């Protein structure tokens, strides 16, 4: 009897030992991965951390948001593919990265389309901007929000950068965008597609002569240390769209999806407010560092840049749609 009883007790204990891990797994929070390619201290980096904070607070015990900055998980070339494969759940690529999924988002790459970030914000918040976030669902991508970075400036390793002729023949790093490629070809420059994580070394070694970026990216990635001149052109916008896998999103429990959407909306407002402050502050830090000269352009200088880039609009108007271009222009006040 004692032997039988002992065996029975060991049998019960063994069953419990097997059952416990399954109970533990059932109670484990859902792991949600957010990957991006810039530094944590940038507006995108801070917005990502705010989303994590808000989502985990709202869905305490239900979700764990893991944020991977600086291309730690996936770089520029792989993040969209990883999202579609389900290896990551949220990414925030530059708007330039979506032209293979929809040509309409190329509107954001047109040079000198928006007067400032406030105009971009009005367009994105309007009907046309909101519609754009749903144009890729047939390809498995759903936009959840626009994250600002800022207006683009040009930089080179040359002493002079005032007029379009100053960049003729120079090699510029660009994001993989047909519009941006056409923009630099219109200037007589040579665009070179390159991942963001490779830009500093390429500038440092002279693989490329220059690049275009926001003040916050130029500062956080230390591009100003390996460039001689930064022209304050404000010729375009670098913004991001936070996207998720549409099938994964639709398959979430309704309460989780609602809470994540609300967290994303709040994180977007938080990050976008930071973006302007970052750019203003980082411009000053670059100026104070004294390593790269900031070239302020006059009205005639800017008019020359605009005229040189005019052909780009005509080339891409058919793909983008005149209605979108007109809506963007109306956002300027």
CA distance 72 to 49: 15
Which pLDDT does position 8 carry in this prediction? 41
Domain range annotation of the chain: 16-328
Assess contact for 79 and 245: CB atoms under 8 A.
Answer: no
CA distance 326 to 218: 31
At 90-145, the pLDDT tens digits run: 999 999 999 999 999 999 999 999 999 999 999 999 999 999 999 999 999 999 99
3-state secondary structure 100-165: CCCCHHHHHHCCCCCCCHHHHHHHHHCHHHHHHCCCCHHHCEEEEEEEEEEECEEEECCCCCCCHH
Q: What's the CATH superfamily of 16-328?
A: Bacterial extracellular solute-binding protein, family 7 (3.40.190.170)
Which pLDDT does position 14 carry in this prediction? 37
Which pLDDT does position 333 carry in this prediction? 84
- pLDDT per residue, tens digit, the chain (333 aa), is 443 444 344 333 333 333 333 334 457 999 999 999 988 988 899 999 999 999 999 999 999 999 999 999 998 889 999 999 999 999 999 999 999 999 999 999 999 999 999 999 999 999 999 999 999 999 999 999 999 999 999 999 999 999 999 999 999 999 989 999 999 999 999 999 998 889 999 999 999 999 999 998 999 899 999 999 999 999 999 999 999 999 999 999 999 999 999 999 999 999 999 998 999 999 999 999 999 999 999 999 999 999 999 999 999 999 999 999 999 999 998
CA distance 263 to 150: 22
Assess contact for 163 and 309: CB atoms under 8 A.
Answer: no
Which pLDDT does position 2 carry in this prediction? 40
């Amino acid at each position: 009897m004692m032997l039988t009883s002992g065996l029975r007790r060991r049998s019960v204990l063994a069953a419990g030992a097997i059952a416990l891990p399954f109970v533990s797994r059932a109670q484990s929070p859902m792991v949600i991965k957010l990957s991006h390619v810039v530094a944590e201290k940038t507006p995108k980096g801070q917005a990502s951390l705010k989303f994590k904070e808000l989502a985990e607070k709202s869905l305490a015990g239900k979700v764990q948001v893991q944020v991977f900055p600086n291309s730690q998980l996936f770089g520029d070339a792989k993040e969209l593919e990883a999202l579609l494969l389900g290896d990551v759940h949220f990414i925030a690529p530059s708007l330039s990265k979506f032209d293979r999924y929809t040509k309409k988002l190329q509107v954001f790459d047109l040079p000198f389309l928006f007067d400032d970030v406030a105009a971009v914000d009005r367009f994105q918040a309007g009907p046309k901007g909101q519609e754009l976030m749903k144009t890729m669902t047939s390809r498995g991508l759903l936009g959840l929000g626009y994250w600002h970075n800022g207006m683009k400036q040009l930089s080179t390793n040359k002493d002079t950068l005032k007029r379009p002729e100053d960049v003729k023949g120079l090699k510029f790093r660009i994001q993989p965008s047909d519009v941006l490629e056409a923009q630099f070809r219109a200037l007589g420059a040579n665009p070179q597609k390159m991942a963001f994580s490779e830009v500093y070394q390429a500038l440092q070694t002279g693989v490329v002569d220059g690049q275009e970026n926001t003040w916050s990216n130029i500062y956080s990635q230390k591009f100003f240390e390996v460039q001689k001149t930064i022209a304050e052109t404000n010729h375009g916008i670098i913004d991001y769209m936070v996207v998720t896998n549409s099938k994964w999103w639709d398959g979430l429990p309704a309460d989780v999806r609602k809470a994540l959407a609300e967290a994303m909306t709040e994180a977007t407002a938080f990050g976008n407010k930071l973006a302007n402050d970052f750019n203003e502050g980082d411009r000053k830090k670059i100026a104070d560092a004294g390593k790269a000269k900031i070239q302020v352009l006059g009205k005639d200088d800017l008019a020359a840049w605009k005229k040189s880039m005019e052909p780009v609009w005509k080339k891409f108007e058919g793909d983008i749609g005149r209605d979108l271009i007109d809506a963007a222009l109306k956002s300027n006040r």
